[in-house]
Amino acid sequence: MLGNFSFCNPTKLYFGDQALQNLGDELDRYGKNVVLIYGGGSIKINGIYDEVTAILREKGKAVAEISGVMPNPTVDKLYEGVAIARAHHADFLLAVGGGSVCDYAKAVSVSVHCDEDPWDKYYLRFEEPTCETLPVGCVLTMVGTGSEMNAGAVITNPHAHLKIGHVFADEKIMPKFAILNPNYTLTLPHRQMAAGIYDIFNHICEQYFSGEDDNTSDDLSEGLMRSVIDAGRAANRDPQNYEARSNLMWSATWALNTLLSRGKSTDWMVHMIGQSVGAYTNATHGMTLSAVSLPYYRYILPYGVKKFARFAVRVWDVDPADKSDEQIAGEGLARMESWMKELGLAMNLRELGATEDMIDGIADGTILLTGGYKTLSRDEVVLILKECL
Amino acid sequence: MLGNFSFCNPTKLYFGDQALQNLGDELDRYGKNVVLIYGGGSIKINGIYDEVTAILREKGKAVAEISGVMPNPTVDKLYEGVAIARAHHADFLLAVGGGSVCDYAKAVSVSVHCDEDPWDKYYLRFEEPTCETLPVGCVLTMVGTGSEMNAGAVITNPHAHLKIGHVFADEKIMPKFAILNPNYTLTLPHRQMAAGIYDIFNHICEQYFSGEDDNTSDDLSEGLMRSVIDAGRAANRDPQNYEARSNLMWSATWALNTLLSRGKSTDWMVHMIGQSVGAYTNATHGMTLSAVSLPYYRYILPYGVKKFARFAVRVWDVDPADKSDEQIAGEGLARMESWMKELGLAMNLRELGATEDMIDGIADGTILLTGGYKTLSRDEVVLILKECL
């Protein structure tokens, strides 16, 4: 049964190989002082930086830059960006990059006019902004996080070994617009592409593996998972396949723009464990998720066997005839494992540089949520992490 | 392949049995002069009128009323409403009812400050508003059209025997908010409920039966169709089943809020023929769709057999082993026909009061679109209509 909820997502999306043509008109809606935010500089190699800055010049914008936003943006980088945006009297933040760059721009947005320490306020106390926030726009160059159409922002504090995501409640934190050109994702290294594909898939799993009832969200989730599986296979076989990349880009947005979770409970423990792994290893987000997923799902399977059996039949085409729910569910996870290996995902934590002596610390940094089929204790997290090594 | 498109849908949705609690805060955002718009008065019997007017009073609103909005709102009723809204210097339009009342409110919204005849401008010339428009909010009491989260408004001109829908391009025509309480739909007569269920299902079909490519929209559509089939069966067996009604309400919104059609071609010929039937018979919208659907789909099946076969397997669980695509596709439509009969839908035009002498006029009033698997000629519409009798 769908419970009480609200839904509002005003982000304007421009999709397709001509999407950047809309950037100029969107920029017209905002003030003169723009902060351009990007990552390690790949946009200077593939030409996107030149295209975007030409549009900014044409529109007469005064541009400051925050470059070098890292895959797991740190709290120190956040402080640096806030200082740049303040010095520039920023009216608008333009993120050009993947989910980390979008997340980072939103974190700067809520921090520029904030009198308190943003790490303490937003990531330790999970408060909402009480100050003015800056509008954010995104030009997406990597696919996976869904950050282009939601109000989430993950920040890492490497000193404290903490990687924490805050999904802000107010839709005004969502990007005002996002430019989604699948061509921008064609040059991504295979490992980044695969990690992004699994990030999308796991976002859907996190919202699906919870609750006993019959609801529209689960039916939508199954359709979206089938799309990610098929498009992921096609992109893996041929990384230049535009159709597959366009389906992945669109699926990623809808996998985490708040639609799938409306009215139902959710799990999110793979992300909680994976984020803690990320804080210790600085490994790619999607790979931390793939490395912990199967041990986690096999551990909780007995507590949600009906849903895992439904998943096997509806998503992985397992034939249920003459089998127990446990058998069906197990076959579903086996097919999921084959698909993950086909994509070349990390299947254990050692591949990511984690070692046995980190396990206690990773377990300490894992936030224990209650929405899934089994509420884990810290000891159970340790058990699962040992299975992941 | 997903083509170039934009997507923006800023309507705020409040869902659940407590959803009306949010009406007061939403009304605070708009001016004092509210026009309350409703239909035949069922909201006075089931108590919704009293609840809504109490909130309007509490908020100190000056309220004028437009009552008696009919199931197929006429152009004369539109002129009447425009006069009432002008006389009241309306700041805000509050629609309380089903899709017809929401559609009508949007038509009034774009017409109040329009200097031209709105029928000519919006429905014969399909122009966009060039004047100020009024904000609209909805309290939904019937499920089906998706009008609560889109910019469409269907108006009927009975003098000209024309029923025409205009989907406005600007998202500001979409309702600012919609209150979706599944309890409000529990008292609906069975025939209205069934018509609404088929309206939802057909909206998805219209966007699904077009195109040869592989895209995320079709996967989402299949998930949503499965949800409507299951929830439709459950609501038909037990009209008091809140879970089923909540899934139908949520599916209806997403079936026609522009998501499913992004980046792909669409058909919409069942609606074109059905709307022309409606202009001649004044029959319930969903029933005109059910009466023409199967003859239409069986006629175009040879031109889109692969998609109809996919539909059979993915949506209706037809076992494809050792069968031709034609056989699989035919079995899918047969299962759809059984489901439609189970719901008690109109399966031919005679049930709706149509007679053979109307066929030429209905064909003349049918707008011929090009997105489907077969572009119909007027003669083919006549052939299909004869099959529907």
What is residue B5's DSSP assignment? Answer: E
Where does the pLDDT of residue B2 fall: very low under 50, low under 70, confident under 90, or very high at 90 and above? confident
Determine the Cα–Cα distance for residues B230 and B153; give it in Å rounded to an integer: 29
φ, ψ for residue A308, nearest 5 deg: -65, -30
Determine the Cα–Cα distance for residues A173 and B101; give it in Å rounded to an integer: 33
Q: Is B7 on the interface with A (CB under 8 A)?
A: yes
Q: Sheet harboring B33-38: ordered strands across?
A: A62-66, A33-38, A92-97, A136-140, A177-180, A5-15, B5-15, B177-180, B136-140, B92-97, B33-38, B62-66
* Residues of chain A positioned with their CB less than 8 A from the CB of B26: none
Torsion of CA A283, A228, B234, B181, to 10 degrees: 60
Q: In chain A, what percentage of residues exceed pLDDT 70?
A: 100
Mean pLDDT of B355-373: 96
Query: Is the Cβ pair A243, B213 closer than 8 Å?
Result: yes
Q: Which chain B residue is nearest to residue A247, measuring alpha carbons? A: B216
Q: Which chain B residue is nearest to residue A215, measuring alpha carbons? A: B247
Q: Is A348 on the interface with B (CB under 8 A)?
A: no
Q: Which helix (H) or strand (E) holds B92?
A: strand B92-97
For residue B182, give the nearest of B231, B255, B237 by alpha carbon: B231
Is the pLDDT at A2 greater than 90, yes or no?
A: no
Query: Is the Cβ pair B8, A4 closer than 8 Å?
Result: no
Query: Is the Cβ pair B215, A243 closer than 8 Å?
Result: yes
DSSP β-ladder status, B162-167 and B152-157 = antiparallel
Question: Could you report the per-residue pLDDT of A128-175, keeping only the tens digit for each?
Answer: 999 999 999 999 999 999 999 999 999 999 999 998 999 999 999 999
* Residues of chain A positioned with their CB less than 8 A from the CB of B216: 224, 227, 231, 247, 250-251, 254
Is the pLDDT at B1 greater than 80, yes or no?
A: no
Q: Which of A247, A260, A311 to mutate to test the interface with B (most CBs of B within 10 A)?
A: A247
The ipTM, to two decimals, is 0.95
Question: Could you report the per-residue pLDDT of B312-352, keeping only the tens digit for each?
Answer: 999 999 999 999 999 999 999 999 999 999 999 999 999 99
* Residues of chain A positioned with their CB less than 8 A from the CB of B238: none
Measured between its terminal Cα atoms, the distance across chain A in Å is 38
* Residues of chain A positioned with their CB less than 8 A from the CB of B3: 16
CA distance A273 to chain B (A): 29
CA distance A141 to chain B (A): 17
- Least confident span in A115-119, B39-43, B359-363: B39-43
Nearest to A226 among B13, B219, B243 (CB): B219
